[in-house]
Amino acid sequence: MKLLITAGPTREPIDAVRFISNRSSGRMGTALAEAGAAAGHEVTLLMGPALMAAELADRCAVHRFNTTAELEALLNEHFPKCDVLVMAAAVADFRPRSAADQEKLPRQAEGLTIQLEPTPDLVAAVAAHKRADQRIIAFALEPGSELEQRARVKLQRKKVDAIVANALGSMESAGVEAVLLTADGGRHAPGPMSKVDFARWLIGRLDQI
């Protein structure tokens, strides 16, 4: 099976040295790539600006990105060739409308106003062109009190095959207590475990999604 996995955060530049990003460590995405390769799948990993074990590049094809636009271009290139897309990357919801890429903006005592614009919904965009033989698994990071409700809404809106709902506290953590929701109404909760173990569990369920 050909797996396309995304991992890590995006960085949206404000100027030559500053950016908008998030606390994603990339642990879940890289664990999924490791588990996929160990299970004998052909893995392509689209990796954001986060640390990655050097030996992972020996086990799968790795392409790096920084911005949402760069990840979008990589998805457009590699999604048509995959069987399953696992979208574990934490894509910024907003980016500066314009960036001073070639300079460092001076500090101003009166403050600085940055105009933001929403980034495109990358998962929904690829799902709109999904073939019948392809599957997409998205991720939803939500507050624990509304976790499954919000994740189910995202699953339906984005028109993906499944979504992994995990609470905000899992970001930067080595562990996760996630719930897998599927488009047919299924709910699978393996309980608290390390991200490595969850990745193995999820990869082992791909044939059932």
Annotated active-site residue 166? The verdict is no
Using only C-alpha atoms, what is the Rg of the chain?
17
Catalytic residue among 22, 66, 76, 166: 22
Identify whether the C-beta of residue 203 lies closer than 8 Å to the C-beta of residue 180: no
CB-based burial of residue 125 (10 Å sphere; 0-12 exposed, 13-18 middle, 19+ buried)? middle
Q: Where are the alpha helices (DSSP H) in the chain?
A: 27-38, 68-78, 122-127, 147-158, 195-204
Catalytic residue annotation: 22
